[in-house]
Amino acid sequence: MTESVRLAKRLIELLACSRREAELYIAGGWVTVDGQVVEEPQFMVSGQHVELHPDASCTPVEPATLLFNQPSATDTDTAHPQFCANTRSADDNSGIYLLKQHFFKLAPCLPLERNAGGLRVFTQDWRITRKLHDDAATLEQEYIVEVAGDLSADGLKLLNHGLKFNGKPLPPVKVSWQNETRLRFALKGVIPGQIAHACQAVGLQVLNMKRIRIGRVAMSKLQTGQWRYLMPHERF
């Protein structure tokens, strides 16, 4: 009977490579055990067939950033999605090979408005975390807001500029009708509760809110409950 050993050790024996190289090959999804990709260097193997992909590269895996379409809920920012292959969008055109380690230590960035759904960002990349934190006051976010009620005579004008929140004047906002029941808000430095307060101040009740864009990154065709990778060319 063949003695069980760690996959990394078996790969070292097969390739005469270093331990670091073996671990990078495995973490990068380049190694199969009996035809199945295994990403854990500590995975135990005995007599199974271990193979390295011919295009394998022993370079460290780049940190991942995931975009998620959060269903509308009452406590959206405490809900951490259970990312998996089954909920990845079929329209993901990033070309990024899905790895289990892409789902580890994901930091949520730029919270949604209260009771809103829509675009959320989760990242392993400290540069994106820092940018979305540091630029939160200047990065434009776009929300589609479904409303009911009768808009006051100067309501649309006030929504754009002239309202107060928590006793302080709100900065100018770009608000327009998307259709008869939905308003489009494009605003910066969103204060939690700001949109619902603004709507209430002009006679409208918010029925639903969805964020569809952060800076230059739009949710596009991403379906509710699904996620995709941030594409290499996309910048917030």
Write down the residue that tokens 């990394």 correspond to: 8
Amino acid at 85: A
Mean pLDDT, residues 144-170 taken together: 94
Q: Which of 27, 28, 35, 34 is nearest to 55 (CA)?
A: 28
Task: Please check whether residues 76 and 172 belong to one and the same domain.
Answer: yes
Per the domain annotation, does 198 fall within a domain? yes
Task: Please check whether residues 43 and 75 belong to one and the same domain.
Answer: no
Beta-strand relationship, 204-214 and 117-123: parallel
CATH of the domain at 14: 3.10.290.10
Task: Please check whether residues 114 and 222 belong to one and the same domain.
Answer: yes
Task: Please check whether residues 47 and 76 belong to one and the same domain.
Answer: no
> Taking all residues of the chain, what is their mean pLDDT, rounded to a whole number?
92
Write down the residue that tokens 């990349």 correspond to: 125
Task: Please check whether residues 32 and 84 belong to one and the same domain.
Answer: no
Task: Please check whether residues 28 and 139 belong to one and the same domain.
Answer: no
Per the domain annotation, does 217 fall within a domain? yes
Write down the residue that tokens 């829509």 correspond to: 118
Per the domain annotation, does 57 fall within a domain? no
Q: Cα–Cα distance between 158 and 57 in angstroms, integer? A: 57
Determine the pLDDT at residue 37. 93
Task: Please check whether residues 130 and 16 belong to one and the same domain.
Answer: no
Q: Cα–Cα distance between 214 and 29 in angstroms, integer? A: 31
Per the domain annotation, does 220 fall within a domain? yes
CATH of the domain at 117: 3.30.2350.10
Determine the pLDDT at residue 73. 63
Instruction: Say if residue 180's pLDDT is above 80.
Output: yes
Task: Please check whether residues 46 and 138 belong to one and the same domain.
Answer: no
Determine the pLDDT at residue 119. 97
Task: Please check whether residues 114 and 34 belong to one and the same domain.
Answer: no
CB atoms within 10 A of CB 100: 15
Q: What total of structural domains would you count in the chain?
A: 2
Determine the pLDDT at residue 1. 52
Task: Please check whether residues 181 and 85 belong to one and the same domain.
Answer: yes
Task: Please check whether residues 40 and 98 belong to one and the same domain.
Answer: no
Instruction: Say if residue 28's pLDDT is above 70.
Output: yes
Residue-range definition of the domain harbouring residue 37: 5-52
Instruction: Say if residue 9's pLDDT is above 60.
Output: yes
DSSP per residue, 74-90? SSGGG------GGGB-T
Per the domain annotation, does 83 fall within a domain? yes
Instruction: Say if residue 232's pLDDT is above 90.
Output: no
Per the domain annotation, does 231 fall within a domain? yes
Evaluate whether 181 touches 147 at the Cβ level (below 8 Å): yes
